Structure 1
Amino acid sequence: MNAIRLLGIRDTPLSVDEVLGAVGDHGAGGTTLFVGTVRNQDHGKPVTLLSYSAHPSAEAELRRVAEKVAADFPVVALAAVHRVGDLRLGDLAVIVAVAAAHRGEAFEAARRLIDDLKGEVPIWKHQIFADGSAEWVGACD
């Protein structure tokens, strides 16, 4: 059975329950979940608007990253979803989950999954600050 249970780049709100449900498995003794949310500041400056954009290849790159994690770690299941479009404070921007036989494997694989997603999947963040300045971040954050 394929360990990759759910992947997606979406313009609709993300669900922790959906992602956690996707990795549920009786063979897993540990499940690690990471949820990235829109915060109210960055670089010590208040954020008023945040928008994510994705390259058309983003889903294929997300699959490549997930396949590499599944190959490198003894995972039972993994899932990753990222939101695009305009997000408000507190909105969920990214969710990853990994289930493995043991907690250490689940933690290590989940850390690699979120780090590689952020570093390799072409998703860009545009932040507008309260002072009117703006910033593009080269990979999702």
Structure 2
Amino acid sequence: MSTISIHISSEKLDLQTCYDFVADPSCGGIAVFVGTVRNATQNKEVTQLDFSTYKPMAIKEMQKIAAYALANFSIKKIAIHHAEGVLSIGDIPVIITVSSPHRKAAFEACQYAIDTLKETVPIWKKEFFSDGEVWVNAHP
């Protein structure tokens, strides 16, 4: 039985797929984080985002995040899915779902996963505005 689902895709991400993966009769809690493209940042109107990845390394880093979460939080399963390519306002660039027998571990693991993903995974975001564009969080 697989306990980790990692996926990077230029296709639309599906929340139900992530939810179904972590659903388990032994778990009383499922925590979900869904990141969406917002229409403004730093007092500027955003028109779209473009996510670029170094896919082999990104998948490896996402696997490490999931493995750490499984080993250090009392969780049963975790899914981390991220989009690549151009996304419009309201589109979903990231979904993380975590199941656990108890809600606290699910919440903590989910927060750990999104925070660590943003810090360590080689996925870069370019924001487009009506008057230009800028790379955001151009790291690691």
- Tell me the TM-score normalized by structure 1: 0.93
**Cα offset, 1:2, TM superposition:** 4.5
CA distance in 1, matches of 2:125, 2:2: 31
In structure 2, the residue matched to 1:115 is 115
In structure 1, the residue matched to 2:32 is 33
Task: State the AA in 2 paired with 1:99.
Answer: S
User: Residues 30-52 of structure 1, C-alpha deviation per residue, up to 9 Å, x if partnerless?
Assistant: 11001000010111100112100
In structure 2, the residue matched to 1:16 is 15
In structure 1, the residue matched to 2:43 is 44
User: Residues 1-54 of structure 1, C-alpha deviation per residue, up to 9 Å, x if partnerless?
Assistant: 5431x1111110000100000000011011100100001011110011210000
Return closer, same or farther for 1:139/1:61 CA change in 2, 3 Å cut-off.
Answer: farther
In structure 2, the residue matched to 1:68 is 68
In structure 2, the residue matched to 1:101 is 101
Q: Secondary structure at the match of 1:53?
A: strand
Task: State the AA in 2 paired with 1:21.
Answer: D
* Structure 1: tracts of 5 or more residues without a match: none
Provide the aligned C-alpha RMSD in A: 1.3
CA distance in 2, matches of 1:113, 1:139: 19
- Tell me the TM-score normalized by structure 2: 0.94
* Structure 2: tracts of 5 or more residues without a match: none
Superposition misfits of 4+ residues, deviation over 2 angstroms: none
In structure 2, the residue matched to 1:7 is 6
